[in-house]
Structure 1
Amino acid sequence: MVEADDIDDHSTPNAKIVYSVVSQTPHSTTAVFGVNPTSGIMTLKGCLDYQQVKTYQVVVRAEDQGTPSLSSTATVNINLVDSNNNPPEIVKKKYVGNVKERESNITLLRIVVEDKDTPNTPAWKAKYSIVQGNENNNYKIVTHPVSNEGILTIVKPLDYEVSPQKALIISAQNEEPLFVCPLKSGKSVPPASTVSIMINVEDVNDPPVFTPEKIKLIQTEGLPPGLKLCKFNVTDSDADHSTIRFEKVYDPENWVKVDPKTGEVVTIGELDRESHYVNNSIYTIIVYAIDDGKPSMTGTGSILLYLRDINDNKPFILNKHAHLCEKKRSVVINAADKDLQPYSGPFTYELLDKGGNTKSPWSLGKISENSIELLKTKQLPQGNYTVPLKIVDQQGISGDDALHLRICKCNEEEECERMVPISAGLSGAAIGAIFGAFLLMLCKCEFYFFICGFVLLK
């Protein structure tokens, strides 16, 4: 906006001002700027292009309506600020990339764009999108912060057997929305620049595939060898005629054998649920399938063998060694069984008579789940005792076991006091007598050897 003042009487034509554009620099066939004749507000009559002209000088005249008419001029300097009026253009219209199947996290190619807007501004920085061909999210494209290139990366492996070629369409736009001058008749926002990309997938040897990868089976423990468990189903997508070799790689108890040609699995040992390698009644077997490709590839399959329990274990005393303070009357015995319910506790107990006609100094008291109370029926001296027991599970399977019990003098924490060494309880005289006896025996031995030697010399 330009503004002029006239000191003449404002109620007369001498002070009525009319504005007009005298010239603009640089010159053009069509005036770019205009001015409102009464308000002095400058207007835009054409479209500006920062890439062609960055600065304008416009001369504006202010003229009164008096007689004679008087006027003066002013120069308006206009500096243009760049905006996004030029879309990014992808230089090449076709790209070709190559990748091996099963490869990922590698750069396939870099897409180059040209943009006439001011570098390193949102009007210049490109933003790339994969508009077609990425339905399975195999690819990712990002903008290089310096070169403005689009870097296409594969993030999820491709499969040659599914399709040896993949087609993509990628578009490029700016971070800032594209601006189109509204003064240009028929002008609309052009579509984003796009490029077609062909990805060639190179075939490599694929590993054999187990179907299913994990076989879940249920068997009862204790069955004899020779039981057919299953047969692995394996396919190789590279060639129907490829040879597959099966190899057992994990079977810690060596319970099965796997036919190297057919993948048939047969037991060669008796299944035992109580094995250390059985976890929560499940025994795991792992098998490889190895093809004859170049290079050879390996697939992995497994068997999860759930073993049903049978009553094949006898109950036993859990802690076979215990102590009983001499002033106490009872001790608790805990029993266990490696079998599951209903082949284990609660147990019944019976004292076994190992002393002939001698009356046992023990009796059985209160039973609680898998434990029982052992009672003294009379006062017993300190020492070690063996208490034989018979333990019977719910199904009548019994096991004979024994508790090794020490009756001792206890401290306040009800722990057995340490046994005093024999030497600590002897007087000085007793020790001297023992030492003297030892010397006497030594002298006798020397005398004997002396006599024997004398006889031999004779």
Structure 2
Amino acid sequence: MEIIVKVLDMNDNKPVFTQDPFTGTVAEASKPGDEVMRVTATDADEEGSANSDVRYTIISQEPPLPSPDMFVINPVTGGIRVNAPGLDREKIPKYTLAIQAADMEGNGLTSFGKAIITVTDSNDNALQFMTFFPENKVDVTDRDEPHSSTCSTTYNIVGGDPQGLFSVSIGPSKLEGIITTAKPLDFEKNNKYTLLVTVQNEVPFAISLPTSTATVVVNVEDVNEAPVFTPVEKIIRKPEDLPVNSDLVLYTATDPDTARSQKVTYKILNDVAGWLSINKDTGLIKVKSLMDRESTFVQDNKYSVLVLGIDNNEIPATGTGTLIIELEDVNDNPPTIDERMIKVCNKESSPQLLSVTDKEGAGFAAPYTVQLQGSSLSKWTARMNDTKTGIILTLKTMLDSGDYTVVLRVSDNQGLHQDSTIQALVCDCKGADVHILGILGAVLLLLLLSLLLLMFLRKRGGEKKKPLLQEDDIRDTIYYYDEVARMTRTSPLGSPYEDYL
């Protein structure tokens, strides 16, 4: 027969915690009832029996502040919850709980363990402004965890700066605010500003707390500012022939430092043509020497100078203004003939085209007119070409070869004229042959120069040969010529020889 023996369980195993210690965290702003963590224990006795039925108990809390029962544990599940208000990381950052696990529904064998609870930071501390602000900074203290988001700040200027002259940024510590100017300040308009500054954390408060504010007084220091010309660039229009010592313009600057009662004196800079002068006390600019629109110093009819305004501060400040003079053209330059010398044949002479130049603008230049003067009238004819910009000069009578002077009076469209003298070389030739003769003459001259150069080189080459006689052997050389153009030389040794020329 089969005998079945059933072994009854005895409570001979005590509970064992699954870890020791247990660790958990709780935010300091947690409220009663918020779960923190859970502890567990196992029992090797028969499952489902009282021998393995474990219950949990908190034996003690360290430190027992601000209440000895800050936490409570669920005896069945082992869940630990906040039991009382008053968690404060800044005062007590960590709690250690002694925990008991007992089987037999809490009345049997026991085991002991620990649960360590770390209190984490919540933004539950209002920022406090410091009573002393160094330089341009505002600073606060924050009891929350340093370098965390609950301790990082944002600043705002909420009053006293309607024009947005200032801005505030965060300093390296994340607690300080640095106030800087966003726009230029003007001591003469306002020398003092009272700013209302607020500060908040980047993370919202965990509990209801007031916003921290501070009053910052900014005193503006006076700085010597440069005089200011109005306008900075002044344009005037004047005729170029203004007499010397004529008034041009009054160009002055004002000193923005009204509280200093300073005097401004004036000076001209970059007057490259040397045409202007300025009264150092009044700023009146006059003509010092005659101006000229056609000068190389004038660009697009404009002449510019830089005017300085200098205050009399201990360290003077200088302001600058630009005076631009638009010079009106005046017909003060008569037309001139470019050519000064011509060559013509004395028979059937070819017309000569002479170019006319006028420095003036279009209103005072072409069309031009021309007239022969003095004795030139009887020997030459002169007329303008079809465009009235060039002169056609022609020899009308036969002259002997030689140099002649031709006087031409050229007038512009306003009648301003000037006599120009042309040197005419009259050659014994026909029509335009003078040009051919000139070319041939140039070729012959070139050949002659080449021949001379060749002879010079041959002479230099002969000097390098060793002489036949010593320097102290002095002999006479006799030259004579016969009818066939031979040159006979008697040598130093007495025997004649011939060279053909």
- Please report the TM-score for the alignment, with normalisation by the length of structure 2: 0.55
Percent pairwise identity: 28
CA deviation profile, 1:189-216 (whole Å, cap 9, x unmatched) = 431x333222333445544433333322
Between the aligned partners of 1:239 and 1:293, the Cα distance in structure 2 is: 12
What SS does structure 2 have at the residue aligned with 1:50?
A: coil
The answer for the alignment partner of 2:489 in structure 1 is none
Tell me if the contact between 2:369 and 2:412 (Cα under 8 Å) persists in the aligned partners: no
The answer for the alignment partner of 2:40 in structure 1 is 3
> 1:282-301, aligned counterparts within 5 Å?
282-294=302-314, 296-301=316-321
Are 1:308 and 2:328 an aligned pair? yes
Between the aligned partners of 2:421 and 2:301, the Cα distance in structure 1 is: 27
1:214 corresponds, among 222, 227, 233, to 233
The answer for the alignment partner of 2:130 in structure 1 is 91
Letter in 2 for 1:23: S
Letter in 1 for 2:321: G
Between the aligned partners of 1:429 and 1:206, the Cα distance in structure 2 is: 78
Change (3 A) 1:430 1:133: closer
Between the aligned partners of 2:340 and 2:178, the Cα distance in structure 1 is: 72
Between the aligned partners of 1:34 and 1:278, the Cα distance in structure 2 is: 97
> 1:164-179, aligned counterparts within 5 Å?
164-174=191-201, 176-179=202-205
Are 1:161 and 2:188 an aligned pair? yes
CA deviation profile, 1:294-320 (whole Å, cap 9, x unmatched) = 555544333222223345556679999
Are 1:270 and 2:290 an aligned pair? yes
Between the aligned partners of 1:32 and 1:365, the Cα distance in structure 2 is: 120
In the alignment, structure 1 segments of 5+ residues that lack a partner are 98-107, 181-186, 322-331, 373-387, 409-415, 441-458
1:424 corresponds, among 442, 445, 450, to 450
The answer for the alignment partner of 1:325 in structure 2 is none
The answer for the alignment partner of 1:75 in structure 2 is 114
Between the aligned partners of 2:337 and 2:90, the Cα distance in structure 1 is: 96
Are 1:31 and 2:69 an aligned pair? yes
Between the aligned partners of 1:135 and 1:319, the Cα distance in structure 2 is: 76
Comparing both chains, which one has the higher relative contact order based on Cα–Cα distances under 8 Å and sequence gaps of 6 or more?
A: 1
Change (3 A) 1:302 1:5: same
The answer for the alignment partner of 2:400 in structure 1 is none
Tell me if the contact between 1:87 and 1:178 (Cα under 8 Å) persists in the aligned partners: no
1:57 corresponds, among 68, 83, 96, to 96
Change (3 A) 1:68 1:220: same
What SS does structure 2 have at the residue aligned with 1:53?
A: coil
Tell me if the contact between 1:142 and 1:152 (Cα under 8 Å) persists in the aligned partners: yes
Tell me if the contact between 1:245 and 1:290 (Cα under 8 Å) persists in the aligned partners: yes
1:113 corresponds, among 121, 140, 144, to 140
CA deviation profile, 1:367-402 (whole Å, cap 9, x unmatched) = 8xx999xxxxxxxxxxxxxxx999998888788799
Between the aligned partners of 2:275 and 2:269, the Cα distance in structure 1 is: 12
What SS does structure 2 have at the residue aligned with 1:424?
A: helix
The answer for the alignment partner of 2:6 in structure 1 is none
- Please report the TM-score for the alignment, with normalisation by the length of structure 1: 0.59
Tell me if the contact between 2:151 and 2:174 (Cα under 8 Å) persists in the aligned partners: no
Largest Rg, 1 or 2: 2
CA deviation profile, 1:394-427 (whole Å, cap 9, x unmatched) = 888788799xxxx89xxxxxxx99x958453246
CA deviation after TM superposition for structure 1 residue 161, in Å: 1.7
Between the aligned partners of 2:234 and 2:79, the Cα distance in structure 1 is: 84
How many residues are matched?
379
Change (3 A) 1:290 1:428: closer
CA deviation after TM superposition for structure 1 residue 85, in Å: 4.2
Between the aligned partners of 1:41 and 1:390, the Cα distance in structure 2 is: 124
Change (3 A) 1:315 1:32: farther
Between the aligned partners of 1:430 and 1:26, the Cα distance in structure 2 is: 122
Tell me if the contact between 1:132 and 1:168 (Cα under 8 Å) persists in the aligned partners: yes
CA deviation after TM superposition for structure 1 residue 163, in Å: 2.1
Letter in 2 for 1:270: L
Tell me if the contact between 1:89 and 1:113 (Cα under 8 Å) persists in the aligned partners: yes
> 1:374-453, aligned counterparts within 5 Å?
422-426=448-452, 428=455
CA deviation profile, 1:31-55 (whole Å, cap 9, x unmatched) = 3333455544433344533322232
1:235 corresponds, among 234, 240, 254, to 254
Change (3 A) 1:241 1:115: closer
What SS does structure 2 have at the residue aligned with 1:425?
A: helix
What SS does structure 1 have at the residue aligned with 2:210?
A: coil
Alpha carbon RMSD of aligned pairs, Å? Answer: 5.5
Change (3 A) 1:139 1:401: farther
Between the aligned partners of 2:262 and 2:455, the Cα distance in structure 1 is: 92
> 1:122-141, aligned counterparts within 5 Å?
122-124=149-151, 127-134=154-161, 138-139=165-166, 141=168
What SS does structure 2 have at the residue aligned with 1:49?
A: coil
Change (3 A) 1:14 1:235: same
